[in-house]
């Protein structure tokens, strides 16, 4: 009983905080999703599942879900692949690698608002650095912000640039945990660098890859700051999270509909995480 009471004394504050600031807002959001409520209005009308039906049967669902899927797949895949390649380069014992590791990781800890503003200036079709370089070689600068497809490409480039340092550092930690004896034995057996990577390093990095796949996926699905700064109107970048923001705080003021979109995002995050834990983890090799 004494150990049980000590356990409760340590756990209770955390459970209370999690319940108050995580689960209570989550349940409240689900309740709001059943209301026809204009943001700021003192009254609301209960509509049941009408907000969900309106979302899935309306023209916005295909666009929003498609944009979310493209943004998530490209940013997660790009960050992990580029992060792995950079970690392989940083894992070599060359001079200046410490500075290179800091430089690669630095964008990840920078403010998303600051990063978005700087890159928005770079992509500006009139005054931007990129347009200046393109004009120097006789090429007109694309309208990055006004073209929906190019706007999504622009945000994806910046998001991958900002987050690949996180993947690189985590992969680097995984590479440094691989025993040198295994690589030396493979080298003695005649395995070249590619065979060592494909047959030894990559399988031993599967726990790291599994961890990054979950964290990067959840992060990309909830990306907001860069999208808000670089495309305020959501031109071509209306992901689920930004759609919920625009519906509640944009010109629509539909808080109930926004809560329904947020609930769809929560269910999607939950299902993806459960599927990863159920099926993807089977292929993870823990040494």
| pLDDT at 279 > cutoff 80 | no
Task: Flag the least confident range among 17-26, 162-171, 229-238, 277-286.
Answer: 277-286
Q: What is the mean pLDDT of the chain?
A: 88
- pLDDT class for 99, splitting at 50, 70, 90? confident
Neighbours of 235 (CB within 10 A): 16
pLDDT digits (tens, 9 = 90+) for 131-146: 888 888 888 888 888 8
pLDDT digits (tens, 9 = 90+) for 157-173: 999 999 999 999 999 99
Higher pLDDT, 278 or 11: 11
pLDDT digits (tens, 9 = 90+) for 187-220: 887 778 888 888 888 888 888 998 999 899 999 9
| pLDDT at 184 > cutoff 70 | yes
| pLDDT at 284 > cutoff 70 | no
Neighbours of 59 (CB within 10 A): 7
* Residues 6 or more apart whose Cβ sits within 8 Å of residue 68: 221, 239, 240
pLDDT at 286: 57
pLDDT at 183: 81
pLDDT at 187: 83
Whole-prediction pTM:
0.87
> What end-to-end distance do the CA atoms of the chain give, in Å?
38
pLDDT at 267: 92
- pLDDT class for 83, splitting at 50, 70, 90? very high
| pLDDT at 95 > cutoff 80 | no
Higher pLDDT, 265 or 146: 265
| pLDDT at 82 > cutoff 90 | yes
């Amino acid at each position: 009983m004494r150990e049980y009471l000590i356990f409760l004394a340590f756990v209770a504050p955390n459970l209370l905080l999690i319940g108050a600031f995580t689960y209570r807002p989550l349940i409240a959001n689900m309740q709001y999703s059943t209301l026809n409520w204009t943001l700021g209005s003192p009254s609301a009308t209960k509509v049941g599942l009408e907000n969900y039906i309106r979302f899935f049967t309306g023209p916005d669902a295909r666009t929003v879900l498609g944009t979310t899927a493209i943004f998530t797949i490209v940013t997660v895949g790009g960050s992990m692949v580029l992060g792995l390649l950079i970690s392989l380069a940083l894992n070599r014992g060359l001079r200046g690698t410490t500075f290179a590791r800091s430089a690669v990781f630095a964008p990840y800890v920078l403010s998303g608002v600051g990063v978005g503003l700087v890159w928005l200036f770079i992509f500006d079709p009139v005054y931007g650095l990129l347009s200046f370089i393109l004009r120097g070689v006789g090429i007109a600068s694309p309208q990055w912000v006004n073209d929906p497809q190019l706007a999504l490409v622009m945000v994806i480039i910046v998001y991958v640039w900002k987050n690949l340092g996180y993947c690189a550092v985590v992969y680097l930690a995984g590479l440094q945990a691989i025993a040198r004896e295994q690589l030396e034995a493979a080298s003695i057996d005649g395995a070249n660098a590619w065979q060592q990577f494909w047959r030894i390093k990559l399988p031993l990095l599967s726990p790291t890859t599994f961890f990054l796949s979950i964290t990067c996926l959840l992060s990309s699905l909830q990306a907001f700051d860069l999208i808000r700064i670089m495309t305020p109107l959501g031109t071509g970048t209306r992901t689920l999270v930004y759609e919920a923001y625009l519906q509640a705080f944009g010109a629509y003021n539909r808080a109930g509909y926004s809560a329904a979109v947020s609930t769809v995002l929560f269910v999607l995050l939950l299902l993806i995480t459960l599927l990863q834990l159920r099926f993807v983890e089977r292929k993870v090799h823990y040494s």
